């Protein structure tokens, strides 16, 4: 109503002045420029009471995610549940003189369930849940980030009041953008001011507050966070949310397939073995892709073959339309068969699939099937991995007479593995200092390690040339062969 009255008065004044013969053109230009600048500042949140831009769902009274919906993170869940007892039993905390839990930092690789954990926390303590990202706070205009931090905490309190809750959870994803080490951006102090405001808000929280606010941060770069944000009394708990192990992957697969019709030949434990270093997000995508492939095949159930195809897609990408020339395809087949043959010599039963179908950046690939997750690597294991890496190029050289550029990435991996041997003190150089060892010494030792493995691989491939020719013929005809079929041929030969 006020806007309409003001507009009417303004038009009347303009008409009156025009009849009096006053030139209004300069005034109109100034008004237009002022209106333009006002809108710019308004969009940046300056000089207005614009509410903080939280994500959709911030107004919900509580999250619908529970800890039972999260698999493969038992250690992190237990640590969180223990910490949340401080929030749920506030009277006991007061009686013992314990300071309130202000912040929890969730640290781990992308896709491991940090956001789900934060939502489960909100459900567990019956609180409102407000989610945002560190990038929402940083602007080029001074003071905007700090203002948005204040608004965020005010919004949490207001939402809790409206929903008759005593607790509120503020979740800040990618908090390293907001909480990075101060002084890194010397030309722009807006980053530091925003972090300072967050620290002020955390320090101002008390056990006697009417609304108990818990701040949860999530990051995969905890190493770049400012030390002040991680000190006791601010983010009191640092919870590691890591990639799941084999049992964890099995539980996650059970969660994501419980509403999907699985065929009898689907073995989730075997799939968990084949998905080493898959995150929870990868496994959810895997189950979804397997269902899509079953739909494409007009199958009412999701079969084991659909899961195997989905694993390849999640790991390597979609099949490409391009097809190499016949002579290139033949070289790729020799290359991948060489990898698979040596892999079976190094660790029998490790090959899952040999494929010469182009996916992503790979013209062909061998998918391995690790029996157990490796957290420590022995000298023999590392040498075996080097042998597998260089086997493709050596197979090309022995059978086709020369190598190709397709082995460039394999040799990069072999070099990194050799460096790992050297700097772990497992080479003939003994225990060495990475910073003081001469580069030429490192290169000499790398050559020595890889040359020794080349001799082993040469013997293995030379002794099985007939098998390689047979497998290559099969690959050129059908594009793939399973590890079981390959091992049967290997035993016969």
Beta pairing class for 128-133 and 167-173: parallel
Respond yes or no: is residue 59 known to be catalytic: no
Q: What H or E segment, with its residue span, contains residue 215?
A: strand 212-219
Whether the CB-CB separation of 357 and 366 falls below 8 Å is answered with no
Hey, what's the torsion of the CAs at 74, 80, 82, 83, to 10 degrees?
170
The residue length of the chain stands at 493
Q: What share of the chain is helix, strand, coil (3-state, %, to 5)?
A: 55, 10, 35
- Annotated catalytic residue: which of 336, 396, 397, 445? 336
Residue 486 is encoded by which pair of tokens? 């390959």
Whether the CB-CB separation of 198 and 132 falls below 8 Å is answered with no
Q: Which contacts qualify for 343-348: CB closer than 8 Å, 24 or more apart?
A: 343/368, 343/388, 343/391, 344/486, 344/487, 344/490, 345/387, 345/460, 346/384, 346/385, 346/387, 346/388, 347/384, 348/487
Q: What H or E segment, with its residue span, contains residue 94?
A: helix 90-95
Give CA separation, 466 vs 337, 374, 399, 477, in Å.
12, 34, 10, 17
Would residue 97 be called left, alpha or beta, if left means φ above 0 and alpha means ψ between -120 and 50 degrees?
A: left
Residues designated catalytic:
336
């Amino acid at each position: 109503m006020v806007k309409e009255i003001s507009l009417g008065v303004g038009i009347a004044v303009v008409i009156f002045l025009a009849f009096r013969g006053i030139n209004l053109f300069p005034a109109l230009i100034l008004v237009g420029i002022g209106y333009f600048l006002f809108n710019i500042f308004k969009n940046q949140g300056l000089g207005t009471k614009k509410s903080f831009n939280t994500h959709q769902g911030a107004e919900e009274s509580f999250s619908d995610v529970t800890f039972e919906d999260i698999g493969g993170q038992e250690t992190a869940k237990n640590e969180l549940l223990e910490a949340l007892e401080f929030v749920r039993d506030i009277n006991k905390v007061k009686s013992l003189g314990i300071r309130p839990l202000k912040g929890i930092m969730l640290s781990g690789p992308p896709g491991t369930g940090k956001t789900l954990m934060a939502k489960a926390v909100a459900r567990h303590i019956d609180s409102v849940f407000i989610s945002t990202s560190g990038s929402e706070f940083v602007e080029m205009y001074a003071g905007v980030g700090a203002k948005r931090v204040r608004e965020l905490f005010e919004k949490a309190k207001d939402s809790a009041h409206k929903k008759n809750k005593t607790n509120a959870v503020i979740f800040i994803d990618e908090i390293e953008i907001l909480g990075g080490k101060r002084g890194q951006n010397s030309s722009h102090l807006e980053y530091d001011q925003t972090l300072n405001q967050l620290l002020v808000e955390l320090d101002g929280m008390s056990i006697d507050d009417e609304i108990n606010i818990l701040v949860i941060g999530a990051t995969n770069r905890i190493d770049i966070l400012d030390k002040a944000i991680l000190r006791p009394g601010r983010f009191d708990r640092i919870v590691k949310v890591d990639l799941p192990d084999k049992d964890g992957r099995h539980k996650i697969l059970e969660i994501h397939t419980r509403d999907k019709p699985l065929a009898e030949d689907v073995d989730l434990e075997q799939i968990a073995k084949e998905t080493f270093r898959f995150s929870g997000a990868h496994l959810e995508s895997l189950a979804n892709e397997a269902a899509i492939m079953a739909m494409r095949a007009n199958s009412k159930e999701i079969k084991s073959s659909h899961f195997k195809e989905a694993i390849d897609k999640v790991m390597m990408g979609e099949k490409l339309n391009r097809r190499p020339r016949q002579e290139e395809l033949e070289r790729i087949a020799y290359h991948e068969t060489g990898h698979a043959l040596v892999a079976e010599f190094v660790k029998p039963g490790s090959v899952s699939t040999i494929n010469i179908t182009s996916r992503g950046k790979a013209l062909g690939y061998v998918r391995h099937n690790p029996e157990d997750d490796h957290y420590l690597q022995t000298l023999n294991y590392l040498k075996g991995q080097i042998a597998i890496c260089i086997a493709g190029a050596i197979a090309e050289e022995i059978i086709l007479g020369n190598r190709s550029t397709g082995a460039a990435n394999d040799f990069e991996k072999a070099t990194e593995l050799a460096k790992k041997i050297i700097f772990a003190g497992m080479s003939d150089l003994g225990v060495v200092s990475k910073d003081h060892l001469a580069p030429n010494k490192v290169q000499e030792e790398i050559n020595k390690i890889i040359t020794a493995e080349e001799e082993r691989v040469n013997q293995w491939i030379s002794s099985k040339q007939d098998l390689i020719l047979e497998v290559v013929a099969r690959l050129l005809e059908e594009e793939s062969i399973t590890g079981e079929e390959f091992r049967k041929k290997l035993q016969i030969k």
